């Protein structure tokens, strides 16, 4: 069992114990729900690039602070329906229509993970063009992409986020005072490459790999801590998205991804290695997550490759 799953199971266990101690009929408050699930929401933000504030606000709204029948009986905190691709357990519940099919989960932690995977579908791809701190853009984008039919859905999410200051989690805080915005750090379109490159404060250029994964080039002396402050992210997120440790050295000109890599290459199925290349280097070159390459090629994450070795960039 990997560390992420262990963490999710641990949190689910804490929630289960809390529910066992909770008198029948007692309802969770919004504050209690946030305290239970904020760490999981932050973890999903670090893994997938979905704002923790959005995850929590959707959970609060869709599950009624975890008190809805769907949340209690099916562990479904996000109102995700079955759809044709769902192979798991099901439960039927009245929503827009009577007797609609909804996904049923083993525990609430599994619901949070499936919510993240659900938002990785192509119709939500435009959301990942937004900053992780742009909760208003995400709220409106979810409605536009078809997540909800209620025209007031975006404002409901925004109201919850601002009422409980959930956006502080997006900036690496723990529900403390919000940092001020720095206008000079807001992206401004650049004419280079037809708008595929934008320039932010300090003359830093944000580029896109294959037109979809944003990255910057490290400068001499850059660190994840410094870049995180500049880009309004967290060091842990940047390190995770680049399959590195927070204290890893960054070389001048090195590509530093500022949103999650993909699960497979868009344009290439196989890479033919040069002597001494690393599996990490191949993943970084194509914008593919290291753990995906480990699975596709049955190799350790620190593998050093041989001349001519074929590395699958998609599931073989």
- pLDDT single digits (tens) 255-293: 999 989 999 988 889 999 888 889 999 999 999 999 999
DSSP sequence for the chain = --HHHHHHHHHHHHHHHHHHHSPTT----HHHHHHHHHHHHHHHHHHH---HHHHHHHHHHHHTTTTSHHHHHH--SS--B--TT--S-EEEE-SSSTTEEEE--SSHHHHHHHHHHHTTSGGGGGGGGS-TT-HHHHHHHHHHTTS---TTHHHHHHHHHHHTTTHHHHTT-SS-PPPPP-GGGS-EE-SGGGGT-EE-GGGPEEEEETTTEEEEE--TT--HHHHHHHHTS-HHHHHHHTTS-TT----TT-EEESSPPBSS-SS-SEEEPPTT-BHHHHHHHHTB-HHHHHHHHT--TTPBPPTT-EEESS--
Q: Give the domain 270-312 fold.
A: Membrane-bound Lytic Murein Transglycosylase D; Chain A (3.10.350)
Residue 81 neighbours by CB under 8 Å, 6+ apart: 95, 100, 101, 102, 103
pLDDT at 99 over 60: yes
Reading the block at residue 255, the tokens are: 């590509």
CB 289 within 8 A of CB 261: yes
- pLDDT single digits (tens) 53-98: 999 999 999 999 999 999 999 999 999 889 888 888 999 877 657 7
- What is residue 47's predicted lDDT score, i.e. its pLDDT? 85
Lowest mean pLDDT among 154-163, 180-189, 190-199: 180-189
- pLDDT single digits (tens) 209-264: 887 888 999 998 999 999 988 888 888 889 999 999 999 998 888 999 998 999 99
Mean pLDDT of the chain: 81
Reading the block at residue 284, the tokens are: 């970084």
C-alpha neighbours within 13 Å on the C-beta side of residue 56: 33
CA dist 152 and 119 (Å) reads 20
Which residues is 103 bridged to in the sheet?
Answer: 90
- What is residue 200's predicted lDDT score, i.e. its pLDDT? 58
Domain ranges of the chain: 3-170, 189-257, 270-312
* pTM for this entry: 0.56
- pLDDT single digits (tens) 34-58: 988 988 898 888 888 899 999 999 9
pLDDT at 143 over 50: yes
CB 57 within 8 A of CB 160: yes
- Bridge-based pairing of strands 255-257 and 310-312 is unpaired
Q: Would you say the CATH fold of 270-312 matches that of 3-170?
A: no
Mean pLDDT along residues 130-136: 91
pLDDT at 310 over 90: yes
CA dist 73 and 75 (Å) reads 6
- Among the CATH numbers 1.10.530.10, 1.10.3720.10, 3.40.50.300, 2.60.40.1170, which is that of 3-170? 1.10.530.10
- Bridge-based pairing of strands 198-199 and 205-209 is antiparallel
To the nearest whole percent, how much of the chain has pLDDT over 90?
43
Q: How many residues does the chain have?
A: 316
Selection from 148, 116, 107, 103 nearest residue 41 by Cα: 116
């Amino acid at each position: 069992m990997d560390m992420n799953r262990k963490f999710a199971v641990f949190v689910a266990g804490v929630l289960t114990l809390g529910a066992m101690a909770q008198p029948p009929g007692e309802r969770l408050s919004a504050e209690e729900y946030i305290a239970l699930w904020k760490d999981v929401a932050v973890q999903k933000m670090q893994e997938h690039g979905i704002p923790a504030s959005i995850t929590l606000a959707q959970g609060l709204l869709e599950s009624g602070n975890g008190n809805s029948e769907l949340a209690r009986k099916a562990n479904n905190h996000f109102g995700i329906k079955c759809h044709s691709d769902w192979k798991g357990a099901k439960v039927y519940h009245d929503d827009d229509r009577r007797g609609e099919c909804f996904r049923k989960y083993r525990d609430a932690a599994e619901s949070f993970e499936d919510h993240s995977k659900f938002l990785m579908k192509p119709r939500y791809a435009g959301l990942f063009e937004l900053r992780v701190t742009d909760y208003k853009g995400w709220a409106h984008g979810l409605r536009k992409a078809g997540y909800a039919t209620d025209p007031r859905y975006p404002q409901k999410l925004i109201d919850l986020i601002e009422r409980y200051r959930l956006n502080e989690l997006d900036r690496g805080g723990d529900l403390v005072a919000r940092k001020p915005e720095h206008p000079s750090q807001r992206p401004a379109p650049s004419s280079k490459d037809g708008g595929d490159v934008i320039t932010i404060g300090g003359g830093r250029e944000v580029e896109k790999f294959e037109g979809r994964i944003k990255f910057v080039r490290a400068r001499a002396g850059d660190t994840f801590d410094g870049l995180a402050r500049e880009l309004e992210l967290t060091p842990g997120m940047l390190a995770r998205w680049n399959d590195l440790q927070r204290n890893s050295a960054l070389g001048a000109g090195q590509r530093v991804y500022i949103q999650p890599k993909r699960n497979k290459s868009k344009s290439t199925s196989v890479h033919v290695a040069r002597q001494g290349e690393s599996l990490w280097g191949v993943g970084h070159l194509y914008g593919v997550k290291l753990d995906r390459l480990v699975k596709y090629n049955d190799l350790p994450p620190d593998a050093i490759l041989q001349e001519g070795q074929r590395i699958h960039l998609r599931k073989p």
